[in-house]
Amino acid sequence: MKSIVIFYSLEGHTKLVAQILAQELNADLLELELVKPLPNKGFRKYFWCGKSSVFREKPELKTEIPDLSQYDAIIIGTPVWVGNCASPINTILSVVNRSHKLEGKRIGMLITNLGGSIKKCIKQIEKAFPNNEFLKPLHFVNPSENDKEEIISKIRMWIEKTKQVIS
Ligand SMILES: Cc1cc2nc3c(=O)[nH]c(=O)nc-3n(C[C@H](O)[C@H](O)[C@H](O)COP(=O)(O)O)c2cc1C
């Protein structure tokens, strides 16, 4: 079973968990980077990132996307922005829809936020992968370096539960 964790992270929370998840799954790891990075501090961060998410913008990716058909499982990692997936995820989802007609894959989601709803974000990802099988979403509320052991144990439990489908 070949897996990849594809993620975007503005402030490092999703990145921390994505790195651990990829390690535990023995999966490839792909961080999405933007041609024009979004601001990651203060009011500008909330304004520009919030706006790009609300308007479902698709900021241009600097990262090259490999051929995803080689993977059996694809896990999309994102923070929640104003109830939606972070806007760079819109870009990868549209690329997947346009040029990587994927079917029969296992699709996972790694979502981090401050505790609000993740339903809209889940729906966005589900919509982009018709004819694929979805794993139970993996959700973390504001994970940090401090709770690394907790993150590892939650991921191991998730892997254990989804073992039949991802190993
Ligand atoms: C523009 C913006 C909007 C956000 N909107 C939400 C939200 O609607 N609900 C929520 O629970 N957290 C929200 N957050 C918090 C992030 O989802 C959370 O801090 C996340 O773990 C950050 O991940 P990252 O460090 O990988 O960027 C928002 C953060 C930003 C920057």
pLDDT tens per residue, range 55-90: 999 999 999 999 999 999 999 999 999 999 999 999
Give the DSSP letter of residue 46. I
Q: Is the pLDDT of residue 166 over 80?
A: no
Q: Is the CB of 83 under 6 A from ligand 1?
A: yes
Whole-prediction pTM: 0.96
Ligand 1 closest atom vs CA 53: 1
Residue listed under structure tokens 């790195």: 19
Q: Is the CB of 87 under 6 A from ligand 1?
A: no
- What's the gap in Å between 5 CA and the centre of ligand 1? 19
Task: Tell me the domain boundaries of the chain.
Answer: 3-166
Q: What tokens appear for 63 in the block?
A: 């990262």
Q: Rounded to whole angstroms, how far apart are CA atoms 119 and 112? A: 12
Q: Is the CB of 49 under 6 A from ligand 1?
A: yes
Q: Which CATH superfamily is domain 3-166 in?
A: Flavodoxin domain (3.40.50.360)
